[in-house]
Structure 1
Amino acid sequence: MENKLNFRLALNDDLLDIIKMLSDDTLGSKREQFDEKISEKYKMAFENIIKDPNQELTVVEMNGQKVGTFQLTFIQYLTHQGGLRAQVEAVRTHSDFRGQGIGGQMFEYIKTHAIEKGCNMVQLTTDKQRPEALRFYESLGYVASHEGMKLKLV
């Protein structure tokens, strides 16, 4: 059995599985609402993402099973001489497949894809409550070069 990963853009039929992966950890379970009946908020967000040419919601499959997901947003800047950046969000590996190197392969794909799109940088944020994620990103060469700040509105 081959364990090659397949990367593809998400389809409507993937939405429930994506929400399940997003909610399947300590922090995600507090902010996501996984239910077999998908809420209108998730449906609307999904439609907005797939219509936006600067957004890519990706599903990662192995042997026909969904094993991961992530979202890329391509942001055009004036800084860095008009550079293009790839913002990585909502990275998850299905809990049944963690520890198998899938996350590293996903980030290799992200890096290659960003270069193909003409990006000069890949950036991400990670919650300070996820020290294992921070160590993982650092092991891939990501550097905590800025202090991120957020203002929660709702």
Structure 2
Amino acid sequence: MNAESVSIRRARRDDVPAIVAMLADDHLGRARERVEDPLPAAYYEAFARVERDPNLALVVAESEGRVVGCLQLAILPGISSQGGVRGLLEDVRVASDCRSRGIGERLVQWAIAKAKARGCSLVELLTHASRVDAQRFYKRLGFAASHVGMTVRF
């Protein structure tokens, strides 16, 4: 399998278990996700909210009927930057046995093209400080470290 053999499409409800499995596939995700059978209803409720919002796109990369990657793109209108619209990438994941094949790059390129088509002047993302491989990946795709992210949890 390579990036050319992968199709990118909107996620469907039946993709949620595969998406959650990819979200849980590292030290950070294992601590916050619940991969159970059946999945907690909260995941499906969140999927329904995302699906209804015209400024959100949850997409998957699929190869031979298997979901092998995902990302979420949020389109955020704002006042700053002269009323500029920006794209926010979240939850970019590729199945661990499918990495280093160009799938993540295809997903990010899809998101950038979609953001441009929606009038965004930039695309930004956050990645955890401990994810050094992800940071290298994003830099290779042209992203530059520009902000310090901060979080408060409730």
**Structure 1 and Structure 2 fold alike (TM over 0.5):** yes
CA RMSD of superposed structures (Å)? 1.4
CA distance in 1, matches of 2:108, 2:48: 25
Show the counterpart of 1:12: 13
What do the CA deviations read for 1:35-89 (whole angstroms, capped 9, x no partner)? 1201121121111111111111111112332110001111001111111111100
**Paired positions, count:** 153
Q: Indicate the percent of aligned positions where both proteins have the same amino acid.
A: 39
State the SS of the aligned residue for 2:51: helix
Give 3-state SS (helix, strand or coil) of 1:112's partner.
helix
Is 2:103 the counterpart of 1:74? Answer: no
Matched, 1:122 2:123: yes
Could you tell me which residue of structure 2 aligns to residue 131 of structure 1? 132
- TM value normalised by structure 1: 0.93
* Deviation (angstroms), 1:127: 0.3
1:142 corresponds to: 143
CA distance in 1, matches of 2:106, 2:11: 18
Aligned to 2:89: 88
Distance 1:40 1:61 in 2: 24
Runs of 4 or more above 4 Å deviation: none
**Structure 2: 5+ residue stretches without partners:** none
Matched, 1:33 2:57: no
Question: Deviation string for 1:84-104 (max 9, x for gaps)?
Answer: 111100110011101112111
Match for residue 57 of structure 1? 58
Amino acid at match of 1:145: S
Residue 131 of structure 1 deviates from its aligned partner by 0.9
* Partners of 1:108 and 1:43 in 2: CA distance: 27
Query: RCO greater where, 1 or 2, for CA within 8 Å and sep 6 or more?
Result: 2
Could you tell me how far apart the structure 2 residues matched to 1:21 and 1:51 are? Answer: 23
